[in-house]
Amino acid sequence: MKVLAISDEEERCLYTPSIRERFGDVALVLSCGDLRPEYLEYIVTMLNVPLCYVRGNHDYEFGRRLRWPGGCENVHRRTLYIAGLLVGGLEGSVGDRPERVHYTQGEMYLEMARMVPALLWNRLRHGRYLDILITHAPPHGIHTLSDPAHQGFKAFLTFMDWFRPRFLVHGHCISYRPDYPRRTRYRETEVVNAFGYQVLEV
């Protein structure tokens, strides 16, 4: 199964009618934040597949306008069984301004804790906690940048240690250096930086 992951930057190849020719075999779209609702709505309409998203630290602008993407599922602190996969999400980035979808390290541990009942139910019902966790920020120390805002959350390392998703897909950290990794293995989880877009084989 192919999953299209997107984040942070609008891609010309996705914002065109030819998206169906290039990505028509995608079964699910995952958005990791900081994308306009119109962009998400275009993709979900053209591909006619489910789209799950979390908010990024720049999505507060959309919140002020009370404008959220129609036909898309916000999975922050939730898990969904969709397209045969268990998908969950945690929004935001490191910071101390809640109106900008910021969380401290401690606050993100609390956000993660609120997901635990649903994860335990998944384990009982489906035999696994989660297939894909989508986040805006990366895990601490993986795909991070040098400034404090792009250091990532330590809670996501704990999440992978405990719940072992097959993928953690994030955005937020954008780098065009040729040596910058887009995919990194952490224990049983493949960590994918989706800025622009990435296609996952699940």
Q: 2-44: per-residue pLDDT in tens? A: 999 999 999 999 999 999 999 999 999 999 999 999 999 999 9
Q: What share of the chain is helix, strand, coil (3-state, %, to 5)?
A: 30, 30, 45
Helices (H), 9-78: 19-23, 37-47, 60-64
Give the pLDDT band of residue 177 (cuts 50, 70, 90). Answer: confident
Mean pLDDT of the region 65-89: 91
The answer to whether the CB of 86 falls within 8 A of the CB of 92 is no
Q: Which CATH number fits domain 2-201: 3.90.640.10, 2.40.30.10, 3.40.50.360, 3.60.21.10?
A: 3.60.21.10
The tokens describing 201, both together, are 């084989």
**How many CA atoms lie within 13 Å of 159's alpha carbon, on the beta-carbon side?**
35
Q: For residue 147, what pLDDT is reported? A: 78
Closest CA to 159 of 92, 111, 102: 111
Q: For residue 97, what pLDDT is reported? A: 79
